[in-house]
Amino acid sequence: MRLERRALTDAAAAPALAAELRALAPGGASVAEPVAAILADVRERGDAAVVELIRRFDTGGAEPKPLRVPQEELDAALAALDPDVRAGLEVAAQNIGVVAAIGLDEEREVTLGHGQTIKLREIPVRRAAVYVPGGRAPYPSTVLMGVVTAVTAGVEQVVLCAPPGPDGDLHPAILAAAALAGADEVYRMGGAQAIAALAHGTDTVAPVDVIVGPGSLWVQEAKRQVQGAGLVGIDGFAGPSDVLVLFDRDADLRAVALDLRAQAEHGGDSLVIAVSPDGDAIEALSEGLSVVPEPGIGALVQTADLADALALANAFAPEHLELIGERAETLAPEIRNAGCLFVGRNGATAFGDYVAGSNHTLPTDGAARFASGLSTRHFRRRMTEVRIPDAAAATLAPAGAAIARAEGFELHAQSMEARIRENPAS
């Protein structure tokens, strides 16, 4: 693990240091051009381009299997799954579903003073896709995080895709988790080409309304580009992963080191940050991590006090934020920017990755300043329904017409005034 050493002695410098730490990991701009070329290729050639790119990037030249996985293969994978793994996935799925359900809002209606009614309707998207990354390892946990949340949101058709391995197939754990979570369609495809197929549609893959899930820079940049083209909604730019552990002298340094190393398991571009005002603890942690062979990019930051550590945490806006140690834990109410906050000696990010019930698809690259983790909100839209009876129109039209004419929209004014009737009904 590559370790950087930094110091912060003034809270006012926290934003600059946060930006410096962010720059340690690569961003999506580095792959923007080749991603755009892949999106264009799939848009023009459809399935043929997707299969060709799978052969190039995933199967090492071997002929890929059919894009869509039949239901019988999903059922067989679930039946063959190790019982302990299945039991763990069932615990995770239940907890994820309970937490996801909390995010559902009921429809609400209000009648205003002039008599018009405004209803806020909650409508799920019809078709949504969950992208599950491959590469270093299979991620059945990500299957659950996306599919269970989408199903809870009421999505009619939940689609899942993941990159196949050299044998052209998906890992059995992915297939089993898809069956357990209730995915309607599963596809053997990954990378930017999968995002293109989901956004544009091909002969085999029908287009979706929303794409969510973590993945490589190529996948996330593809998500960003298809959203920018107005094709789909997305959850956000989910990757590379990061964690910031803010700890004090009471923290268990072995646990802190394990949490940092665990996050680095996600890959060489994972960003792990440890922050503390305790210089001796920082030094001890440095010695323990300097001999660790795991990949990842690390930084150890000593601050003047806990107030400066808090300022840096909020400026960095980590995907995962841990507060460990008696004094550090008191900062929880003052945390404003974090994808998910873990408080206390048992607050390991790994619990959130699997079984705590919180979602592990979270805003990265500092987006926790304005974005939220994956929830039912990403699969639902709020639509306003307006009903204006005659009596309300008679009183609202003059007020609206005056504003319209002030803006230079005469026909807007006339459109409202045309609704005024001599004997309005209530």
Give the model confidence (pLDDT) of 136-189 as tens digits.
Answer: 689 999 999 999 999 999 999 999 999 999 999 999 999 999 999 999 999 999
CA atoms within 13 A on the CB side of 96: 32
Percent share of the chain, pLDDT over 70: 97
Q: Which residues does 52 contact at the CB level (< 8 Å), separation at least 6?
A: none
Question: Which fold would CATH assign to domain 34-114+121-235?
Answer: Rossmann fold (3.40.50)
Catalytic residue, candidates 266, 320, 360, 378? 320
pLDDT grade for 289, boundaries at 50, 70 and 90 = confident
In terms of phi and psi (left: phi > 0; alpha: psi -120 to 50; beta: otherwise), the region of 40 is alpha
Q: Mean pLDDT lowest for which of 18-27, 334-343, 406-415?
A: 18-27
Q: Is the pLDDT of residue 135 over 80?
A: no
Q: Is the pLDDT of residue 112 over 60?
A: yes
CATH 3.40.50.1980 fits 2-25+240-356, yes or no: yes
Q: Residue 297 has what pLDDT?
A: 86
Q: Residue 379 has what pLDDT?
A: 97
What average pLDDT does the segment 365-384 reach? 96
Q: Residue 293 has what pLDDT?
A: 60
Catalytic residue, candidates 319, 322, 360, 378? 319
320 is catalytic: yes
Q: How many Å apart are CA 135 and CA 162, to the nearest integer?
A: 10
Per DSSP bridges, beta strands 320-324 and 340-343 are parallel
121 - beta bridge partners?
Answer: 383
What average pLDDT does the segment 404-426 reach? 89
CA distances from 158 to 5, 102, 129, 230 (A): 45, 20, 6, 20
| Residue extent(s) of CATH 3.40.50.1980 domains in the chain | 2-25+240-356, 34-114+121-235
171 is catalytic: no
pTM: 0.93
Q: Please give the distance of CA 88 from its chain centroid, rounded to a whole number.
A: 22
Q: Residue 4 has what pLDDT?
A: 87
